[in-house]
């Protein structure tokens, strides 16, 4: 496993995913402000913290993907990235339903709970947008990792 490659690939995947989030409203999807949600987890909004947490999660998932690839579970190809991205979304989407337990802003009523697969933030289109974002993350991470 190439740790440096995994970190870089995770950051590349996060950058591409972030572009999808920024463009989402223009594509008819709800606003996807994961940075805002992460930046309010511990109290007053801190977008810098939200960006750092978003990047850190990209690195962690890049490392997880690379570890699994190094163990022979799929490979860093377009298809491997798509499959990992879909699985990633299924897991993270369920975790979104548990966020209120650890998010101070949601518990205080200052931030809306995202719900499973962020469906409280746009229903089916939020589900589709999140899935697209994670598919793109998986593809970009796989392509970057295989290039390094």
* Mean pLDDT value of segment 78-102: 96
Q: What is the mean pLDDT of residues 54-65?
A: 98
- Domain count across the chain: 1
pLDDT (tens digit per residue) in 22-51: 999 998 889 989 999 999 999 999 999 999
CA distances from 41 to 46, 99, 101, 119 (A): 9, 9, 10, 19
First-to-last CA distance in the chain? 11
User: Looking at residue 129, what is its pLDDT?
Assistant: 93
**Mean predicted confidence (pLDDT) in 96-106:** 93
Tokens 């699985």, residue located: 87
Compute the radius of gyration of the chain from its Cα atoms.
15
Dist. CA 96–CA 102, nearest whole Å: 11
131-139 mean pLDDT: 97
- C-beta of residue 40 within 8 angstroms of C-beta of residue 111: yes
**Structural domain span for residue 40:** 3-147
């Amino acid at each position: 496993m190439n740790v440096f490659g995994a970190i870089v690939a995770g950051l590349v995947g996060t950058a591409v995913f972030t572009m999808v989030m920024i463009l989402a409203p223009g594509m008819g999807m709800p606003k996807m402000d994961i940075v805002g949600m992460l930046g309010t987890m511990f109290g007053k909004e801190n977008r810098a913290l939200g960006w750092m947490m978003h990047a850190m999660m990209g690195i962690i998932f890049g490392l997880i993907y690379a570890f699994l690839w190094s163990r022979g579970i799929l490979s860093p190809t377009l298809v491997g990235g798509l499959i990992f991205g879909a699985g990633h979304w299924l897991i993270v989407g369920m975790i979104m339903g548990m966020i209120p337990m650890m998010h101070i802003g949601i518990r205080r009523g200052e931030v809306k709970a995202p719900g499973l697969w962020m469906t409280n933030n746009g229903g089916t289109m939020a589900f589709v947008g999140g899935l697209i974002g994670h598919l793109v993350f998986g593809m970009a991470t796989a392509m970057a990792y295989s290039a390094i």
